[in-house]
Amino acid sequence: MRQGKKVISILTGSGISQASGIPTFRDGGDALWKNYKASICATSGGWEDDENMFRGFWKDVEDYFTKEFPKPNQAHHLIKNLEDFCKERDEDFHLMTTNIDRLHEDSGVRKVIKIHGDVYKRRRIYQTDENNKVKFDFEIPNVVLFGENKRYTQKCYEIAYYSDLFIVVGSSLLTGELSLLEQAKKRGARLIEINPNPVIQCPFDERYTMSAIDGLIELMRKENYV
């Protein structure tokens, strides 16, 4: 981040990808967790309680993303347009996401900070017992589980610290990102939420209680990023 430059930051969550057909993990009839226990399939060490459920869930997730191959929707392209406008205005632009898809990258955004990892990459689960005998040895998508540290935490707090405008799109802020908003607010940033289901506990300055697409269109018109 460059001193004296206006800093525009965006945090996106699963709500931005719904229009691309990607179900959320938590909510709705098509939620990815509806047939699984999050305490097992989305939690570090969950494989010890039920390896079949844990591995089955992540196979379903991986199969969905590799077979359905979702495409960016208008909301992703609007954020790409916002990045371009910021570049034209010589403003700093930062995009963070809790999503594990690659729709921001596929829309052409230059750099995305992926707080929860990437479903298209892989990681190894390897665990031995007290006798050094292998108990578990398998691979899953390279994503963050409950109980594990999120990625790029220091970088995200630095971005929040220097932000002049911090926009949250389609995120419930239930996995700890609320602290980023609190950090930005302390430094005087203007906070904007785009979400059909507002996060009440966060002190946003403005709310667009609508879909990611409609909210981004309204915001960009109001801010003259068109």
Both tokens assigned to 165: 């405008």
Q: Name the catalytic one among 76, 94, 104, 116.
A: 116
Both tokens assigned to 104: 């921001």
- Rounded to an integer, what distance in angstroms lies between the CA atom of residue 196 and that of residue 211? 6
- Rounded to an integer, what distance in angstroms lies between the CA atom of residue 56 and that of residue 47? 10
Cβ atoms of 72 and 20 within 8 Å: the answer is yes
- Rounded to an integer, what distance in angstroms lies between the CA atom of residue 181 and that of residue 96? 12
| Contacts with 22 (C-beta within 8 Å, 6 or more apart), sequence order | 14, 70, 101, 103
**Residue 94 catalytic?**
no
Q: Quick one: 57 exposed, middle or buried, by C-beta within 10 A (0-12, 13-18, 19+)? A: buried
Look at the block and give the residue holding tokens 């990045």.
83
Report DSSP state, residue 102: -
Cβ atoms of 174 and 98 within 8 Å: the answer is no
- Rounded to an integer, what distance in angstroms lies between the CA atom of residue 171 and that of residue 212? 10
Residues with catalytic roles = 116
